Amino acid sequence: MNATKTVVNAKNLSLGILAVAGILSLGLANAAWAESDCNAETFGAGVDLEETTAIASILAAPGDFDGKAVRVEGQVHEVCRMAGCWMEIVGDDDSGTPLKVKVEDGVIVFPVSTRGHKAIAQGTVEVKEMDRERYVAHQQHLADEMDETFDEASIGDGPFHSVQVLGTGAEVCSN
């Protein structure tokens, strides 16, 4: 009888360990993207999507992702210096082309100090087709935000579009 209790208890212990491991893995799914000493700061609603979409994939075929919820990760390349209303992320496995994560002005504010830090973000991909006039105005606005000069002559003939993630949340490593 003792042997039976031991087997049953060992089986229950194994099931208990598996259950705890499963719960922990769900809780740590979003933390797996960074080192254990990341000390991530959460912005907005945070990140609850588990599957990461490569930034290069979104930029290579933006129409395939337009309107879809995605999770992206990489290094913060740039942050809006005027209001913290967007950040650009460069994926670890990408060509270095950043993807902008735009958030609602004043609702989520990314500090400029997050530049160079690891980040994950989620939101909905938005692709905007633009005529040349609107695209030039958009590029001028971006240059103004970064306190940079803009040369309209550097803009070609098109087609013109912008691709960004309308962010709902993010996590950025503080170190």
Residues 120-167: tens digit of each pLDDT: 999 999 999 988 888 888 789 878 877 889 888 888 888 888 899 999
pTM of the model: 0.73
d(CA 36, CA 52): 19
| Residue 64 Cα to chain centre, angstroms | 18
What is the per-residue pLDDT across 2-58, written as a single tens digit (0 to 9) for each? 444 434 343 343 333 333 333 333 344 444 444 457 899 999 999 999 999 999 999
Determine contact, residues 9/3, Cβ cutoff 8 Å. Answer: no
Question: What is the DSSP secondary structure assignment for residue 61, as one 8-state letter?
Answer: S
Give 36-173's CATH code, choosing from 2.40.50.200, 3.40.50.150, 1.20.1440.230, 3.30.450.40: 2.40.50.200
Give the closest residue to 73 by CA, choosing from 35, 109, 104.
Answer: 35
Q: Domains of the chain: which residue ranges?
A: 1-33, 36-173
Alpha helices in the chain (DSSP H): 2-28, 55-60, 62-65, 132-145
Q: How far apart are CA 85 and CA 111, in angstroms?
A: 9
